[in-house]
Amino acid sequence: MRQRLVAIRTDASTVIGTGHVMRCLALASDLVTRGISCRFVCRAHPGHFGAAITAAGHDLILLPLRPVRADPSEPYAAWLGADIETDIQDMIAAFINLKPGFVIADHYAIDRRWERAVAKATGAQLMAIDGLANRAHACDLLIDPSFSIGGANRWTDLVEPRCDVRTGPQYAPLRREFREVRRTEVRDGTIRRVFIGFGGVDEPNATGLALEAFLSLDQPDIAADLVIGAGNPHRAALEHRVAGKSNIALHVAPNDIATLMAQADLAIGAGGTMLVEQCRMGLPALLLSIADNQTGSIRALAAQGGGIDLGIYTDDARDAIRSRIAQALITLIDHPDQCAALGMQIARLMPSSAVSAADLIERGLR
């Protein structure tokens, strides 16, 4: 039996967002209930989210930031917070005496170079969590939790034959609340409550943009829940904007996001982890891509009838995007059958999986 220790290399920042760390925390929580300990390795990026990791009871090695050479051919290289060779050596040094049974890499800057070196030095099995399918991996297990048209076929030339590839949002590590909370009544398409959430950081303030679109409808009989992270840079402005509006609530890093989603009839949001959470709750959504890595998943979901693609956010198109959100809201409010159809399709696109990422890791440790 391999040592029941899992090393997790991931990062959060004001640029990266918090989604990678959040889904790794969800996975770690599941592993701990099985008697498997987890140790995180992150860089000290601004907004690194280390406090959330330690608050959850996990060990954390917080590495210092190092200079990274700009390389246009590797747009996510800077996200590693060091050049890849330095990161490899830091990772090996952190675990050379501990010998983890599994190493998890959830990072767009990590590829087969890192994975081969770390696996060789530690003797661990490697799992990659990656929804981009834009680089090669040398791992034993790959989880692609994104919505995509190609599915596992996207990975044919990017992984080795030995790799166990699992694709689809049913494999996304989600917090326990998303497995336990369910809406009590069937959504009929009527919009009474809207959930607005664009992840833990939301640097462009898409939350504020969606709020302005919602307010422009002047529909006090429809409620809205705005969800932001504790580090959202626009928190004060959002608090000021919703002050005195009885039908709008602003929630900062709430512990009951699944309940808020279950109560809602429609979501306005982006891609990433929160999109999978919304779909898990069967929540129809208007979707705006606020990062390049969200575009593919949003387009794939919309192409399969599970959401409405509002396009890609740019600073110079804020007025046009606000109008687009407002018009999409009006259409779904006036045509509840369309909203109901979105919800039914989401249910078909989110099959339950007989095994989870934690199940697969536990099997590998036997």
pLDDT tens sequence across 102-151: 999 999 999 999 999 999 999 999 999 999 999 999 999 999 999 998 99
Boundaries of domain holding 285 = 178-349
Contact between 132 and 158 under an 8 Å Cβ cutoff? The reply is no
| pLDDT(354) > 80 | no
Amino acid occupying residue 26: A
Q: Specify the 3-state DSSP secondary structure of 6.
A: strand
179 pLDDT band, cuts 50/70/90, is confident
> Which residue is listed with tokens 């709020």?
211
What gap in Å lies between CA 340 and CA 354, rounded to an integer?
27
pLDDT at 110: 98
Note whether 205 and 224 are same-domain residues: yes
Note whether 259 and 280 are same-domain residues: yes
- Arithmetic mean of pLDDT, 174-184: 89
Sign of torsion, CA 85 90 95 96? positive
Note whether 35 and 129 are same-domain residues: yes
Here the CATH number for the domain that contains residue 28 is 3.40.50.11190
pLDDT tens sequence across 84-101: 999 999 999 999 888 899
Note whether 74 and 167 are same-domain residues: yes
pTM flag (> 0.75):
yes
| pLDDT(362) > 80 | yes
Note whether 140 and 17 are same-domain residues: yes
pLDDT tens sequence across 59-83: 999 999 999 887 888 889 999 999 9
Note whether 20 and 131 are same-domain residues: yes
Is the residue at 316 inside a domain? yes
pLDDT at 325: 98
Note whether 101 and 139 are same-domain residues: yes
| pLDDT(228) > 80 | yes
Note whether 214 and 331 are same-domain residues: yes
